[in-house]
């Protein structure tokens, strides 16, 4: 079904030092849902060809590279997918797809394929209606289809990083995949909202948002101020907050709070620290405030959660 010059893209990971350094990951998430992840540095020019029967499937391609536009051939059309943007390929156009890769360029993108038979009637009719209105695959008629979408990029990175082999994680990656299709359809339907997205953010600024996101996740205990974050990233307050709202659907402060809560939850599960020790370990200074936001987020107090874990562990032993 898929070929890359002289070899097939196999289930699992594919490497080929002749054309690229890096890897291609192919996973069958369900009988009707397939994932392809690409992380490549090209050695020479080549084309990745994906082939399927006409009318059988819908494809979603997300370009995560911060510097390289992704050249995609779809039938007779040539589409350039800018950094942090995506394209939905409907049934009628999905007979042949190709990605044209150039030497000495880095590529980071993913492709999701969902078979038509896995969609309900309403979903099928929606995709056909969007196609009939020229909202798919025609940037000249609808340039909004290629706007950056940081929320989709963040979800795509979670999907790429996820272990897709274990039984439990298979449910998670299916969820990420379905969310991505939903986000793309929402983007296409809500054109006014799409036009307000952060099209004025430069690629460097988007990259700074990603670096900052990773830093906060790795070090939630640090004390962050908006002024310091703006200095570190070179972003204005407006761009910093707007970027976080698009990428994480919340302000910087709420994102930091949520990461601290997730870290605290992990520590309650996996350490013997008491609640007060955990509060200070995640960068908070008030136990009462921590208990209040923890209960609001997880619907129970941290002490009750910790006691329940201990009770369950005792019964299991």
**Once rounded to an integer, what is the mean pLDDT over residues 83-104?**
86
Structural domain including 214 reads 203-316
Which CATH number do you get for residue 312? 1.10.10.60
With CA atoms as reference, report the closest residue to 131 among 187, 93, 159, 95. 93
Instruction: Report the alpha-carbon distance of residue 91 to residue 151 in Å, rounded.
Output: 25
CA 206 to chain centre: 14
140 and 274 fall within a common domain:
no
Q: Which of 140, 165, 195 is the last residue of a domain?
A: 195
Q: How far, in Å, are 45, 67, 69, 103, 117 from residue 106 at the CA level?
A: 12, 8, 10, 9, 35
155 and 22 fall within a common domain:
yes
The count of domains in the chain is: 2
pLDDT at 62 over 90: yes
142 and 40 fall within a common domain:
yes
141 and 23 fall within a common domain:
yes
Q: Identify which has the larger pLDDT, 191 or 312.
A: 312
154 and 230 fall within a common domain:
no
pLDDT at 47: 86
Identify the weakest region by mean pLDDT among 27-41, 133-147, 151-165: 133-147
pLDDT at 93 over 90: no
- The answer to whether 152 touches 81, Cβ cutoff 8 Å, is no
By the 10 Å C-beta count (0-12 exposed, 13-18 middle, 19+ buried), 247 is classed as buried
207 and 190 fall within a common domain:
no
pLDDT at 257 over 70: yes
With CA atoms as reference, report the closest residue to 23 among 35, 12, 7, 8. 12
pLDDT at 145 over 70: no
Q: Which of 171, 195, 219 is the last residue of a domain?
A: 195
142 and 217 fall within a common domain:
no
pLDDT at 1: 41
115 and 166 fall within a common domain:
yes
What percent of the chain has pLDDT above 70? Answer: 89
For residue 301, how many C-alpha atoms fall within 13 Å in the half-sphere facing its CB?
Answer: 10
182 and 209 fall within a common domain:
no
* Nearest-5° Cα angle at 213, 34 to 155: 20
Instruction: Report the alpha-carbon distance of residue 28 to residue 5 in Å, rounded.
Output: 21
Q: Which residues contact 203 (CB under 8 A, 6 or more apart)?
A: 66, 67, 83, 84
Instruction: Report the alpha-carbon distance of residue 43 to residue 127 in Å, rounded.
Output: 37
**Once rounded to an integer, what is the mean pLDDT over residues 106-121?**
92
Which CATH number do you get for residue 81? 2.60.120.10
pLDDT at 60: 94
Q: Which residues contact 102 (CB under 8 A, 6 or more apart)?
A: 42, 45, 71
104 and 40 fall within a common domain:
yes
pLDDT at 140: 56
Tokens of 126: 């929606």
pLDDT at 65 over 70: yes
Q: Packing angle between helix 237-248 and helix 150-161, nearest 10 degrees?
A: 50
**Mean pLDDT for the chain?**
85
Q: Identify which has the larger pLDDT, 51 or 157.
A: 157
Identify the weakest region by mean pLDDT among 3-12, 133-142, 239-248, 259-268: 3-12
pLDDT at 26: 92
Q: Which of 178, 195, 212 is the last residue of a domain?
A: 195
211 and 245 fall within a common domain:
yes
pTM, entire model: 0.75
pLDDT band at residue 195 using 50, 70 and 90 as cut-offs: very low
142 and 219 fall within a common domain:
no
Identify the weakest region by mean pLDDT among 65-74, 99-108, 130-139, 239-248: 130-139
């Amino acid at each position: 079904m898929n070929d890359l010059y002289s070899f097939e893209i196999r289930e699992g990971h594919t490497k080929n030092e002749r054309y690229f350094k890096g890897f291609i990951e192919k996973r069958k998430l369900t009988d009707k849902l397939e994932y392809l992840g690409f992380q490549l540095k090209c050695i020479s020019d080549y084309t990745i060809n994906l082939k399927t029967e006409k009318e059988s499937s819908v494809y979603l391609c997300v370009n995560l590279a911060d510097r390289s536009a992704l050249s995609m051939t779809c039938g007779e059309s040539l589409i350039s997918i800018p950094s942090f943007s995506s394209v939905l390929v409907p049934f009628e156009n999905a007979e042949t797809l190709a990605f044209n890769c150039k030497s000495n360029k880095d590529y980071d993108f993913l492709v999701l394929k969902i078979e038509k038979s896995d969609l309900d009637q309403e979903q099928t009719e929606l995709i056909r209606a969007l196609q009939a209105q020229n909202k798919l695959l025609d940037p000249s008629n609808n340039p909004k289809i290629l706007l950056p979408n940081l929320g989709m990029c963040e979800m795509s990175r979670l999907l790429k990083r996820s272990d897709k082999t274990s039984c439990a994680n298979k449910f998670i990656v299916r969820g990420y995949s379905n969310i991505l299709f939903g986000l793309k359809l929402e983007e296409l339907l809500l054109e006014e909202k799409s036009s307000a997205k952060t099209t004025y953010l430069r690629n460097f600024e988007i990259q700074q948002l990603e670096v900052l996101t990773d830093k906060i996740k790795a070090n939630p205990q640090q004390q962050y101020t908006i002024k310091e974050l703006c200095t570190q990233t070179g972003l204005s307050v407006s761009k910093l907050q707007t970027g976080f709202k698009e990428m994480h659907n919340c302000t910087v402060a709420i994102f930091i709070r949520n990461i601290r809560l997730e870290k605290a939850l992990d520590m309650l599960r996996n350490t013997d620290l008491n609640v007060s020790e955990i509060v200070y370990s995640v960068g908070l200074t008030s136990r009462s405030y921590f208990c209040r936001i923890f209960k609001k987020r997880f619907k129970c107090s941290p002490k009750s959660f910790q006691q329940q874990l201990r009770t369950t562990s005792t019964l299991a032993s």
